[in-house]
Structure 1
Amino acid sequence: MELWIPITIAAAFCQNLRSALQKHLKGKLGTTGATFIRFGYGFPFALIYLFFLHEGLGHPFPVPGMDFFIAGAAGGIFQILATFLLVHLFSFRNFAVGTAYSKTEPVQAAIFGLLILGETVTPVALLAILIGVLGVAVISVAHAPLSWRSLSASVMGRPAMIGLSSAAAFGASAASYRFASLSLGGPNFLMQAAFTLAFVTLFQTVVMAAWMRWREPEQLTASLVHWRIAVWVGFVGVLGSAGWITAMTLQKVAYVRALAQIELVFTFLASWFIFRERVSRLDVIGCTMIAGGIVLLLLGR
């Protein structure tokens, strides 16, 4: 098995756990505060990981160029926007379906991968991605009455537009991170990914803290008050981000983000066991389509 596959699956699990914790804090912090804690409490762990690779394992630091800083900063901004929109989406739909709207990301990641990195995908891989996205579309209407009116409302409604925008921002962020990591050119994929992660999370923390200090100081204060849960959001968030960037250093963005749809399985487990939300027959059909798309992707690359 190629290394990027288990790394991506582990990152998907961490992302699901982080999203669950953020949803729990959404009512206490608000959208901005719940977004900030992912980065503000995450960057110390990113720095610890970086210095562990350097001091503990002896990997030298890479020498970044201007391309790295531009791509890393752009990816950081896109990720802030994407996370903000995803957290805001929790206000409109339940946890499982709200997350599903953002899962059109693989198609959009493939587009941004082509535009930013010049990466293409095979016809079989594209079919696999589309099957997975169709599975997400089935899930997105699973909890609505099955009528053309409800289907149109689900596809064209405000939650869908927010989810699609979040997916686009996540796709642009992923392609930017891969560009930044590859621009380092060494010394190895672990250090490239860790260096990228450390820069990005530090940049995001500074940007968001400055914004909140200016526009929403009460949210900055609240994020400090709820540090006991927030620190776990930061920890699992960095674990997930380290996994994503490492996998995307090894493999094309479109393939990594397509496999990442396995997170939806973890999402439904969280919805069922933690949030006690109903899982319908369409949920199962959608998950089966996603799983089929993932199998086709892994076999048809």
Structure 2
Amino acid sequence: MDTWVILSVAAAAFQTLRFMVQKSLSMGTLSAGGATLARFVYAAPVVILLTALYAVSLGVSVALPDAVFWAYALTGGLAQILATWCVVALFSMRNFAVGITFKKTEVIQTALVGLIVLGDRISGAGLAAILIGLAGVMILSLGAPARGGARGGFADRAALLGLISGGLFAISAVGYRAATLEVASDDPLLRAGLTLCVVTSAQTLGLGLWLRLREPGQISRVWRARQQAIWMGLMGVGGSLCWFTAFTLQNAAYVFAVGQVEVIFSMLASVLFSRERITAREYSGITLLTVSILALVMLG
């Protein structure tokens, strides 16, 4: 199995665990912005330390990135903040598993953004596999019960947030892939680590300043929630390193498509930890997602 496939699955597993903690924090402990900041602020020091230790162990130094790198990295970082904010807000409207599925339109949107920005192309068979996965996501999303028993479709606010988050995650993924390709190194892990250091640090500073001005007291709450939030940061580090390294090796659309296994992981988490029920419709969606992922693995 190709390395990028293993990394994509591992990233999805880390991300599922992170969103479980993030959902818990956003349900009363922190605002959507505070929960988003916690995801970055507890990850940044770990990323910087790990990347520095890795570079020292290799005995290498990396040239200061150019302006193109910074443009891609910071654009991706801002898009990820906004996308994460949308997902956290979504958790208050949908159950955990369905909340995750709404943002999965990021896959097809990533293919489009990647083509426009980087000229990344996907094969006809790859596109077919992605569309099968997208069909699975739509089956999982359509008709999902909203909180309070109401039925929702693509016209409601939760669906809109999910679609917007998917587009923003697509922009962030392509921005990150472009940034890693600008790093002057042949080592995928070093390129990913350096990019992640820059992005996570910028996100922490930028969002921290925003919350300081717009949500006084929220930063103090993030600190008080550290015993729980630090685990979200660590899961975020693991997931981000896997995502970023996979982006250096493969088209971001393929990486995200395999990463849709996260939906299956979230379903399992819902059953095991949140006691949420999975319907026959959701099982059919899982089946389509599984077919899509297996096809992409074989194509990769």
Please give the alpha-carbon distance, in whole angstroms, between the structure 2 residues aligned to 1:188 and 1:62: 14
Residue 141 of structure 1: how far off its partner (Å)? 2.8
Q: Which segment is superposed worse, 186-195 or 77-86?
A: 186-195
- Give 1:12-51 correspondences, 5 Å limit: 12-26=12-26, 27-51=28-52
8 A Cα contact 1:107 1:254, kept in partner:
yes
Please give the alpha-carbon distance, in whole angstroms, between the structure 2 residues aligned to 1:217 and 1:58: 44
Please give the alpha-carbon distance, in whole angstroms, between the structure 2 residues aligned to 1:59 and 1:277: 49
Q: 1:8 matched to which residue of 2?
A: 8
Please give the alpha-carbon distance, in whole angstroms, between the structure 1 residues aligned to 2:33 and 2:284: 34
Identity of aligned residues (%): 39
Residue 300 of structure 1: how far off its partner (Å)? 3.3
User: Secondary structure at the residue paired with 2:99?
Assistant: helix
* 1:257 has 2:287 as partner: no
* 1:87 has 2:107 as partner: no
User: Secondary structure at the residue paired with 2:169?
Assistant: helix
Q: 1:155 matched to which residue of 2?
A: 154
Distance change in 2, residues 1:144/1:22 (3 Å): closer
Q: 2:169 matched to which residue of 1?
A: 170
Q: 1:189 matched to which residue of 2?
A: 188
* 1:124 has 2:112 as partner: no
Residue 143 of structure 1: how far off its partner (Å)? 3.7
Q: Which segment is superposed worse, 291-300 or 231-240?
A: 291-300
Q: 1:268 matched to which residue of 2?
A: 267
Distance change in 2, residues 1:292/1:62 (3 Å): farther
8 A Cα contact 2:143 2:153, kept in partner:
no
Counterpart AA for 2:48: L
Residue 54 of structure 1: how far off its partner (Å)? 1.2
Residue 144 of structure 1: how far off its partner (Å)? 4.2
CA deviations over 1:88-125 (Å, ceiling 9, x no partner)? 00011100111110011110010111111111100110
Please give the alpha-carbon distance, in whole angstroms, between the structure 2 residues aligned to 1:297 and 1:115: 22
- Unmatched 5+ residue regions in structure 2? none
Aligned residues: 296
8 A Cα contact 2:102 2:137, kept in partner:
yes
8 A Cα contact 1:143 1:280, kept in partner:
no
* 1:198 has 2:187 as partner: no
Q: 2:218 matched to which residue of 1?
A: 219
Please give the alpha-carbon distance, in whole angstroms, between the structure 1 residues aligned to 2:63 and 2:165: 31
CA deviations over 1:29-51 (Å, ceiling 9, x no partner)? 01111111011111001101111
Residue 142 of structure 1: how far off its partner (Å)? 5.6
Structure 1 segments, 4+ long, off by >4 Å, are none
Counterpart AA for 1:86: V
Please give the alpha-carbon distance, in whole angstroms, between the structure 1 residues aligned to 2:226 and 2:68: 35
8 A Cα contact 1:59 1:187, kept in partner:
no
User: Over aligned residues, Cα RMSD in angstroms?
Assistant: 1.5
Q: 1:135 matched to which residue of 2?
A: 136
8 A Cα contact 1:61 1:187, kept in partner:
no
Q: What is the TM-score with the length of structure 1 in the denominator?
A: 0.95
User: Secondary structure at the residue paired with 2:153?
Assistant: helix
- Unmatched 5+ residue regions in structure 1? none
Q: 1:101 matched to which residue of 2?
A: 102
Distance change in 2, residues 1:206/1:144 (3 Å): closer
